[in-house]
Structures are given as structure tokens and as C-alpha cells.
Structure 1
Amino acid sequence: MSVRGIHTDVTDMREKIFTEVARLAYEGGDYSRLEELPYKIVPGELASFRESVFTERAIVGERLRLAIGLPNRTLAEHAPVADGVNESAITERYYEPPLINIIKFACHKCLDNKTVVTNMCQGCTAHPCEEVCPKGAIVVKQGGKSKIDPEKCINCGRCRDACPYGAIVKMERPCAKACGMHAIHSDEYGRADINYDKCVSCGMCLVNCPFGAIADKGQIFQTILAMKAGTRVYAAVAPAFIGQFGPKLTPERFREAMKELGFADVVEVAAGADLCTIQEAKDFLEEVPEKIPFMGTSCCPSWSVMAKTEFPQYANCISMALTPMVFTGRMIKKADPGCKVAFIGPCAAKKLEASRRSVRSDVDFVLTFEEVMGMFEAKGISFDDIKAGEPLHHASGDGRNFAVAGGVANAVVNAIHQIDPDREVNVVCAQGLDECRKMMQMAKAGKYNGYLLEGMACPGGCVGGAGTIQPIKKSAANVAMNKKNAPFPSATQSEYKQMIDFLEERPEKTPTAEAAKSEEKSE
């Protein structure tokens, strides 16, 4: 079960860390005062959640470093929290892999894939758990309580099903359970460990760890420094933004609020989604089924990388259209050469996408909604004091609907019908990488020939991304309202559609699996 949309002590800690990193950048001066921040965030002498206040502060220290973009460290490394911060205080800094990091000494060493008898066992006379076990792994202790011999247990689940009290459960590591790439395992000490050859940086492990032991790197620091240096930094805001910052930050106030943070202006990435829609519609009409058996959408980087790496023979079936983020970045830089672009969105994987060699000249920074909220807190901005101004109005309803599962495919189908009203289009959509994998397996088996496939790594689509703030269902409802209020319904009505050929310089149509996985910048 996910804790998404619930404000917990972990989300409170994340908020404080992002706020303090933003404040550090806005105030400037001697960055060595980073050393004081763990004591500010975890005050007093007594621990609240861990065995000691020293452990809590050490964890906060590592999370502060990651939020600045600095590397994660182990307990065996001795250095100040601020070690490397001055070198990181430059605007031309990209993410050094890995993006997603486990703070090992914060990991709870959760049991993974183990069947255990809880204290709810009533010691019943029947002991159906013992009777159904095919390996004789159930031992009845004195007093009638059941116990499982882990050496004999094969985790078949029969005892769980047979227990009339539901006293037997399967323990799974929450981060591993949430990982659709099955990239998380245990190290030699029983702590979570990530296989980065499998990881696609979707961030689902990050938001499902109830101990806050997993964090991604950030660029709040570098973004603010660029704005303070006088660089024009535009906020390219993803369609999922609507409602993320609470009901007081209305669409009419959003542009002015972002300018208060230092951004030059705001452009909605839904406008880039319109261009992506048109290009994918054209590609589908030209290529399916004559050149490729089916076509997958392109906008979710985690889904795209998974599909290309695990099904390399069908890599050319995943659309090579530029993502909405990249289309928008290119539009902004065409209009204002010399500026920088900060993508503001729900997604951890977009951070990795933006660091790829083919993308990093288009998008300079990637911030999540959580990180931007930290910037608002650091600046002490009250949304009540923001005057209403001109809302964002350059994207279609279909472009804005990219934020929810099924929205991308729906937009592409609508565009196809605008271009060729007689064309029938079959669609399959999948949420979560496990479901995306199943969809690709069906496509590999020939079940989806002629289809348009939409993959989304996160539950509910982008509204369920790792950097979102509010509950998924609430976000989806807000996106639906924003779609309804769009100035025009279809992507084909975009005022920017004539720019596609100029903006789009696409890579070759046959990317290798290795290229799809390792195109990010190496420092």
C-alpha cells in the first residue's frame, strides 16, 4: 500500500530539507553554514524516530547533500556535511549518477519476501496452516502458537490463505515492492540496494520507503544561483502542476507567484505536449502497420527506457518524437536565446532525461513540485498576497490531459482523427512498470499489432509522480478541470504546430538498448 498523498513525518522532513537548501541559495554568503542545518531541522537532545539524535542528524545531513546535488556517503567516510558545496555552487552542473540514492544507515533492513506468523495467531486447535503446508515448515510451539521454519518455507502462501484469523502475512520490502523494474535487493547487511543496470529512476522506491531512506539528487541550489546571477530562467511547468501547491495558488496567480521566486516567466509544457501529440499522430499514420507493428508513446522516460532495454528488438516501435519537456525547452530558447529553462514537474526520471547529451542544451534544470514548494517556503511567499494575473493559455485541453493515465493516447487518437477521420485506432494503456512490461509482452506475442500503446511508470500517470504533493485522485480531478478550461480542445489547433519541423531534430529511429540507458552526461 502506498502512502502517496498522505502528509507524513517523512514528507515533512523532505519539505524542511528543500526549504533550507533553497534558503541557503537565496541568502548566499558562506555555504559552510550547511553544517548547522541538521541541528536546525532536528533540534534538541532527544531523538524522535531513530535510536539517537546523532543518527537523525546524520540522515538529514546526507539528504541535504543530495538535495544540493552532492554525492551520497557512507558512515565509513569522514568529511563535513558541506564538503564539496562550493564546487556545486555553479549553474553549469548536471546530475552525477546515480540519481536515486539509498542512505544505507537510514535503511530499516526490512524483511523481504518472507512469510511470518504475527502475534495475532490464536493457537487454534485445528492448525489448518500446519495441515496445508507442503514442506512441513509450520512448527506448533507450546501453547499452540504456530511458527514458521524459514529453512523449509517456500513462500507458497497456502498457510496465509488457510489461517482463519489472517495471522500469517508475507513481508515485503516496500521499496522493492514498488519497484516495477525489480531493481532492489538486499546487500550483505540486509539493507536495500539498487541494481543501477535495471533502475530507470522512476522514483517509486523513493516515495514508498516509510523510513525516508531513499532520496534523489536536486538542482534547487543551482537554479536559484542562476536566477541570482541575472540569468533569465524560464519555468516550463508540467501539466500536472494544477492544484499541487494548494487551492490558494490558482492558475491566475501562478505566473506571478513563480516570478516572485525569480523566474523570468512561465510556459506550460502542455504546449509542447500538443506538438508531441501532432508528431506522434503523424508517425503512427505513416508507420503503423507498414513499417512497425505497433507504436508506443514517448513522453514517459522511465517507460520508454524500460521498453527499449527489455525489448530491444522493438526499440524502434517506441515513438522517437521529442517529449513535451524538450519541445517546450526548444520553443523557449528559440524565442529567447541565451536564457535557461527549468522544467517544473512531478517526475524524478525527467532529471535524468534532461542530463542526456541530446537534451541538456534544451533543458538546464529539473525541479519537482516538492522542491518548488520548498522555494516558496524559503522566500516566505503567501499565496494570499499574490495578485491575479494572466493565466497560462497556450495549450489545448488534450495537451493538458497528458498528466493523467490515458491522456497521451487519447490526445494522439484525437489528432489522428483530425488528420484522417476514417482511421480506426486501437489503444492499450498501462500504469506502473510491471503493467507496462506485461503490455510489451503481449505486443511481442503479436496481440497488439496495429495498436497505439501508452506506458506510464507511475500510478495514475504523471499525477502520481515521485515529486508530487497532493493525492493522485485529487490531482486527476484538478487536471480534468484545467482541461475543461483550456482555450481550445485539440492539439491540432496549436498556434505552434508550424514550428515542429524547425524544433524537431530526432535521433536515429533504431536506438540501441545501451544508448537508451546510458545517454546521460558523464562528468
Structure 2
Amino acid sequence: MADTMRGVYTNLTEIRRNVFCEVAKIAYEGGDDQAKKLDELPYKIIPGDVATYRESVFLERAIVGERIRLTLGLPLQGVDRPEQLSDGLAEAAKPETYYQPPLINIIKFACNACEDNVYRVTNMCQGCLAHPCREICPKGAITFVDKKAHIDQEKCVHCGQCAKVCPYHAILHKERPCASACGMHAIGSDEHGRAQIDYEKCVSCGQCLINCPFGAIADKSQIFQVIQAINAGDEVIAAVAPAFVGQFGGKGNVGKLREAFHQLGFSGVEEVALGADLCTIQEADDYLNEVPEKLPFMGTSCCPAWSVMAKKEFPKYANCISMALTPMTLTARMIRTQHPHAKIVFVGPCAAKKLEAMRKSIRSEVDFVLTFEEMAGMMEAKQIDYLSLADDNKSDFDVASADGRGFAVAGGVATAVVNAIHRRYPDREVNVANAEGLEDCRKMMKDAVCGKYPGYLLEGMACPGGCVAGAGTLQAIKKSAAAVKRYAKRSPHENATENAYRVLIPALAEEGGVDTEVEETFEAQRPVAKE
């Protein structure tokens, strides 16, 4: 399902940004009255006594309250027992605090209980003489009442044949938007018809939360903890994902971005495209050393949601996904060599990176993960107008290649790896297949294990469009992709092999095991049992 809301400033967008902004304000202000301010925050965000978005202002405030708790990294409370919104704040206020599982949450009383996989006849039905819908139905589920088609839901098997043959397109297939967007088929319904996540399947791609038009799904944030670390005087360094270009406005002015982060309290900013270069070189080596002699094909590693899906659903071919460390991890490890005591914050488009950073078997060196949207909330809290900032007059990030910067757009990873291979072996043929969205990624893997892609390099991206379509992005996908490509062309280096930091790869990758990656990902999503 395409994400039609991205880049459109909706009521939901405003509520999300207001929550991020107000929580960031309270965190920056500090003081002993934080709990009081948080308890009063729903009334500040939803003022008055008249509902604006839903049937009740009390419901609106309750939903905002849950979103505030998730932004603090705290678990949902629900409405079935009396609790203060700020309960648990003391733990959340510790800079080292990580959220309790699960990461992706459904606010049950915000869910619309949308119908899922149901065929309904609309008022477009003309009661035509031919009745093709009735004639083609294999279960006799369609009858005509008052000259209009009627579907007996008890008999319907959801084959969709009626919708295909209706000459007036009067039969619609109703799907729950979040479930339709979930490539893992992880969303079902509870006993009340409300959405429910199967955390044994969820890989935290975040497509459900950006496709729910009721704002009932949200992930937990570390805004509060990052600001606590800044307030404590820690050295806090941001590692910014390649998809950042244009997310905060403008056309990729890096000088303005560095200045904005400086005003937020960050000690420095590094470009994760640097790690993308190192990942490219690792994957090129993996491919050259193992395909096709040891492995029938090789999949890229940088998208954690795709990687985990492929390894979980095709365990016999788990070793066909590259063992290369992700750009986030490689960049963070590089930063750590020069800043051993810094807090490292990955800033990017991806919800799944929040789980990747928590893994124990692959030491990521990332302390916190923030999305671009969460970062925008912090900027608003400090009243930073990105476009009006003065350039810091330093040169652009000048170490990442154009190929490394292109990782953010679908097809970019495979292109970078192929280009790196061709630098060493110009005549080596490298066939590529790529897929966007976990549904298509699964199909690509099925084809690969059936022998359709012998010796191929497979690029998988959980988000349709690539990282520029991640759950934490701000801008329309096509606009972001174009901005990234323009920025990539400005690099003084064309290919990852030109990166001077490539000599560090052996040292940075020495702790790169992935044996428990899949199990750790699902363990980090399983809800904590309530006592």
C-alpha cells in the first residue's frame, strides 16, 4: 500500500509534532516540576472543552497523554485504572534509560476498529441486468435486494472476483490501512475489532504507524533521554543518516544543519554516508569472496527490517544476507575511536534502527536513536528556524562518496556495491535484483531460493522508495529522493573505494557477529509482562 499522507501536513502531523516539541521543552527546562508540567501537558495541547478531532475532548486528551508517555519512552497506561501521566518519570529521566518493549504500540482506544479484508457494495451499484457479480461468486454469497447487490459476509470467502467483474466498480475491498501497509502480516484484530500487533512477526519497519489515519499507532522515543544527556554536560554527537537532505527544509545545506544541531546542544555532527562507504566495501568483498562459489546469491545488510525478515522467514538461507555491519554501526564505531566517552545519537528516517541499536550481539556503539520528525520537534522546542540560520562557513561533509550518500534511495545500495566491485574487476558481471516493501522483498527471496537469481546481488528495502520513505521522515518521498541525488553529486568522491577511512574497516568490524540478530530483534519487541 502506498503511503499517500507523507509530505502532507495533517491534523495528525500537528499533534505528533506538538507532542515532540512540548516534551522536548520540558526536558530542556529541567527542574523539579517536570512531572507537574507533564501531567498538565494534554490540557495545553488540547485546550478548551470542545472536541476538535474526535467525539470527546476527554478522548482527545487521553490519546495525547498516551503519545506523551511513548515520547518519554514509557509504556502505555490505558484507561482502566487511575494513574498519573508522569508515573515512571524518574526512570525515564535517566540518560541511559532504554524504553521497555514493545517499540511499536497501538493506543487501543484511538483505533477506529477498521474493517479488514471485507468486500462491500457501495451506492454506485446500478442493479444491472447482467448481474455478473452474482454469477461469478463461487459461494453464492451475492443476492439482489431492492435491485441492489448484497454480499452475505457469512458466505463470502474474500476472493474478490465480484469486484473485478463489476462494470461500475461498485464493489470495494475494504482493508485496514495499517494491516495493508504491513509487509510482515503482523496486524490482526482483537476481540473488539481493534488492531493488534503480533510481535513475533513485527520487525518495527514503522509502515503501520504512518499509514494509520487515526494516529492510533506510535513508536517510543528517546527525545527525553537525549536531552537529559545534553543537560548533564555529556559530549553528545549526532550521526546523521544519508536521507537527511531536505528533511528540515532547503536543499541540503549542511552548514545550516551543523549550526542547528549545535544550538540543540550537540557537540558534533557526522555523516553516516561515511559508514555507508565502508559498508559498501565490506559487501563488495563479501560478494567477491562468496558468490557464487559459497553462496547462491547475496542480500544487502543495511536495512535491518529487510535483513531480519529474510533471516527469520528463510532460515536456511540466512547466511546469504551479507555479514557486513550497517552504515549506522560502522559510523558510530568510527566516532567512538576518536570520542571514547561520547554519547552517540543516530538521527535518521527509520524506526527499525531503534531496535538495531539495542542489540547485544553486535555492539553498535549507538546510545540513542532519533527520527527526523523527533529531531524537528526538538528544533521547534528551541525555536530554531533551520532555513534562517547562518551557514557555519565550514565545507560540506567531504569524506563520503556520492555512492555512499545514495544509500538513502532505493537501488542506491546495490549500485554502490556494483560500482565498488567494478573498480577492482571492471569486467566482472554483477546481476542485481531489488525490492521495495517487505511484501515484495519476500517475493524476491522466494524467487531467489527457487533459483531465479543465481549469483545475484539482492537489495532489500523495507520502505517503498528506500530510506527516504522511512517512518520518521518529514517530506514527500519523491521530493526527498531528488534532494538526496542532487546532494550526492556534490561529493568530491564518486565511489566508496575512494574513502580514506576504508583502512579502518578490519578494526571496526572485528566484533561483527550476527548469530543472535533475529532473536534479539523479536525479544526487543515482545511486551514486558505486567505483574
TM range (shorter): over 0.9
C-alpha distance in 1, partners of 2:227/2:168? 55
State the shift of 1:322 in Å.
0.8
C-alpha distance in 1, partners of 2:364/2:310? 25
Amino acid of the residue matched to residue 322 of structure 2? Answer: S
**Helix, strand or coil for the counterpart of 2:237?**
strand
C-alpha distance in 2, partners of 1:314/1:308? 7
> Does the 8 A contact of 2:436 with 2:465 survive in 1?
yes
1:355-504 correspondence runs (5 A): 355-359=358-362, 362-389=365-392, 390=394, 391-504=396-509
**Helix, strand or coil for the counterpart of 1:169?**
strand
Select which of 125, 139, 146 maps to 2:143.
Answer: 139
User: Over residues 307-352 of structure 1, what are the superposed CA-to-partner deviations in whole Å (9 max), with x where a residue is unaligned?
Assistant: 1100001111111111000001011111111011000000000001
The answer to whether the aligner puts 1:297 opposite 2:300 as a matched pair is yes
State the shift of 1:176 in Å.
0.4
Amino acid of the residue matched to residue 15 of structure 2? Answer: M
Greater displacement, 173-182 / 508-517: 508-517
Select which of 267, 278, 288 maps to 2:270.
Answer: 267
> Does the 8 A contact of 1:405 with 1:431 survive in 2?
yes
- Name 2:13's counterpart in structure 1: 11
**Helix, strand or coil for the counterpart of 2:173?**
strand
Amino acid of the residue matched to residue 171 of structure 1? Answer: K
C-alpha distance in 2, partners of 1:370/1:515? 26
- Name 2:288's counterpart in structure 1: 285
Q: 1:62 to 1:520 in 2, by over 3 A?
A: closer
> Does the 8 A contact of 1:325 with 1:343 survive in 2?
yes
The answer to whether the aligner puts 1:216 opposite 2:196 as a matched pair is no
The answer to whether the aligner puts 1:65 opposite 2:69 as a matched pair is yes
Select which of 316, 319, 322 maps to 1:319.
Answer: 322
The answer to whether the aligner puts 1:234 opposite 2:237 as a matched pair is yes
The RMSD of aligned alpha carbons is 1.7
Q: 1:398 to 1:248 in 2, by over 3 A?
A: closer
C-alpha distance in 1, partners of 2:342/2:265? 13
C-alpha distance in 2, partners of 1:520/1:358? 16
Greater displacement, 116-125 / 433-442: 116-125
Amino acid of the residue matched to residue 205 of structure 1? Answer: C
Q: 1:509 to 1:338 in 2, by over 3 A?
A: closer
C-alpha distance in 2, partners of 1:521/1:338? 31
- Name 1:115's counterpart in structure 2: 119
Aligned residues: 522
C-alpha distance in 2, partners of 1:227/1:497? 31
**Helix, strand or coil for the counterpart of 1:293?**
coil
Select which of 24, 27, 45 maps to 1:25.
Answer: 27
- Name 1:90's counterpart in structure 2: 94
Amino acid of the residue matched to residue 38 of structure 2? Answer: L
Identity of aligned residues (%): 62
Greater displacement, 117-126 / 25-34: 117-126
**Helix, strand or coil for the counterpart of 2:510?**
coil
> Does the 8 A contact of 1:239 with 1:403 survive in 2?
yes
C-alpha distance in 1, partners of 2:495/2:360? 32
5+ residue gaps, structure 2, are: none
The alignment's TM-score, normalised by the length of structure 2, stands at: 0.95
User: Over residues 261-290 of structure 1, what are the superposed CA-to-partner deviations in whole Å (9 max), with x where a residue is unaligned?
Assistant: 111111000000000011111111111112
C-alpha distance in 2, partners of 1:468/1:239? 12
5+ residue gaps, structure 1, are: none
- Name 2:202's counterpart in structure 1: 199
User: Over residues 429-473 of structure 1, what are the superposed CA-to-partner deviations in whole Å (9 max), with x where a residue is unaligned?
Assistant: 110001110111111112212111110000100000000000000
Q: 1:361 to 1:91 in 2, by over 3 A?
A: farther
State the shift of 1:123 in Å.
3.4
**Helix, strand or coil for the counterpart of 1:492?**
helix
